[in-house]
Amino acid sequence: MGGGGGAGHANNHMITDGGAGGGIVIIMAKNIAGNSNKILANGSDGGTSIHDGGGGGGAGGSILLYTDEINNTLRTEAIGGNGGNAGGVTANRCYGPGGGGSGGVIWYKTNSASPNLTTNLSGGSNGIVTSLSTSCLGLSNGADSGQDGVENNKLEILTNAEYGTMPIANLGEDMTICDGDIITLSSAEGNNFEWSTGSNEESIEVEDPGTYYLSIYSGACISRDTITISQYDLPENTLPTDTILCSYLGVDLETGSPDDYIIWSTGETSHLINVIEEGKYSATITSTDGCSIEIEIVVSACTNNLEIPNLITPNGDGNNDTWIIETIYSYPGNIVEIYNRNGALLFQMENYNNTWNADNLPAAAYFYVIDYNNGGNKQQGSISIVREK
């Protein structure tokens, strides 16, 4: 497409327009029957001024003939427009005329022009000064004619058939994945991939939320797409990794939020289950977002051989004032008894709560018996009371 001519200079007078550039003509056909017709892409002439500078001529346009054969005479023109003359009514003032527009360009497919093709790519003539009352009358005042245009016989138009399939980058809709999930992003075929991660592979694996970009190149063609990955939180597990079973009543296992779906290895689907046998138990917790975790807990049978403190100092200082058996609560129905050297029962409590403080007994050694109420052996030992003198 030809460029437009420059406008003439105006000193607070009428502005003189430059000529319009020629257009673009594209013809793609197996053959063209010229029949002495013309194809025109000429630039127009610049405006003539009666007060000031003349307008520049528009450049010739572009003609593209993508054909194997031209039958009969075909005339083509991409002529530059003529520059406008410069006139004026003010004496002794030389105005600048417009320069001529350059000729256009013609492209054709074959290696040489067809003998039936005639071209005119002449540049436009420059304008002259037409002011009668000046010494510049008839001069160009520095304005030049336009250069002639050019012919090019190496026109190539890239088509899918000649250049391959246009790539299509399509990463699909935005999606949300579960925390920890890894997904594969990929698109259609292509021969040159460029991801926002820096990878040039056909596909990438991602696990972090964010926006990912893909560009696929195929020669001069390019296709781009983006996808945004968001993330759901995983459901929460509130179970420890292990616990002990000390009662014939079993032990309760509870986990998950109220809206979660849970299925245990026992086949139960409630949030809380009771187990009466030792072993390994597992569950799958699935949130309302569809995210799942696998959990596991080991339930072990407790033993009737706890570590029992053998000394208390009930002096009211808040330190070791009572007899504390750390895991006694794991044995519901337990019975704790304290005896003196003579075998007299001094203290007895069912479901001992770690509150015995020697009951003002004198400092001495005493004996205990613990029945865990689980069918196992009773545990026995000594406990000493130490008081400050």
User: What pLDDT is recorded for position 12?
Assistant: 42
List the one residue out of 121, 116, 15 whose CA is nearest residue 74: 116
List the one residue out of 171, 172, 167, 213 whose CA is nearest residue 190: 167
Distance CA 29, CA 252 (A): 85
Residue whose entry in the numeric block shows the structure tokens 């998950």: 256
Distance CA 209, CA 121 (A): 60
Name the pTM for this structure: 0.43
User: What pLDDT is recorded for position 17?
Assistant: 83
| Residue 381 in tokens | 């030992």
Reduce the DSSP state of residue 328 to 3 states and report it.
Answer: helix
User: What pLDDT is recorded for position 72?
Assistant: 85
Distance CA 19, CA 127 (A): 12
List the one residue out of 226, 228, 243 whose CA is nearest residue 278: 243
Distance CA 228, CA 211 (A): 4
Domains and CATH numbers, the chain: 1-157 (no CATH), 164-232 (2.60.40.10), 242-301 (no CATH), 311-385 (2.60.40)
Q: Count the alpha carbons within 13 Å of 27 in the hemisphere toward its beta carbon.
A: 21
Q: Where do the H-state alpha helices sit in the chain? A: 160-163
User: What pLDDT is recorded for position 152?
Assistant: 80
Write out the chain's pLDDT in tens, 389 residues: 555 445 555 554 556 788 898 889 988 888 888 778 889 999 999 888 777 788 889 999 998 888 888 888 889 999 999 998 887 655 567 778 889 999 999 988 766 667 888 899 999 999 888 877 777 888 888 889 999 988 887 666 555 545 556 778 889 999 999 999 999 998 866 678 999 999 999 899 999 999 999 998 876 678 889 999 999 999 999 888 888 776 667 788 999 899 999 999 999 999 999 998 888 999 999 999 999 999 999 988 777 777 889 999 998 888 999 999 987 887 888 999 999 999 999 999 999 999 999 988 999 999 999 998 877 788 899 999 998 76
Distance CA 348, CA 368 (A): 10
Eight-state DSSP code of residue 360 = G
CB 286 within 8 A of CB 292: yes
Give the count of beta carbons closer than 10 Å to the beta carbon of residue 79. 29
CB 2 within 8 A of CB 40: no
Eight-state DSSP code of residue 146 = P
User: What pLDDT is recorded for position 389?
Assistant: 60
User: What pLDDT is recorded for position 161?
Assistant: 47
Distance CA 124, CA 148 (A): 8
State the Cα torsion 60-66-68-70 to the nearest 10°.
-40
User: What pLDDT is recorded for position 266?
Assistant: 94
| Residue 212 in tokens | 């990912």
